[in-house]
Amino acid sequence: MIIRIQRVDGLYDMVKPQALDRMLKEGSLKRFMRSVGWVTVATDAIRTCARDNDHYVGTERRVPRPS
């Protein structure tokens, strides 16, 4: 999948999801396109990259199902 982005310098580009994750960490993105429209990095809700750590940090909300 290729994602359309706008860099902080105003230039548009198309990147793979791995590059999007990297650019979000670097702070080099102004916004990126989702299926519902443009997401502005500084104002819209975005998830952090789960690949940075191998576990979820927060309250566990899933309940194990009985086998």
pLDDT tens digits, 35-51 = 999 999 989 888 765 55
Amino acid at 60: E
pLDDT tens digits, 5-63 = 999 999 999 999 999 999 999 999 999 999 999 999 989 888 765 555 555 667 777 77
What are the angstrom distances between the C-alpha of 5 and each of 24, 30, 40, 47, 56?
Answer: 11, 8, 10, 16, 27
Full-model pTM = 0.67
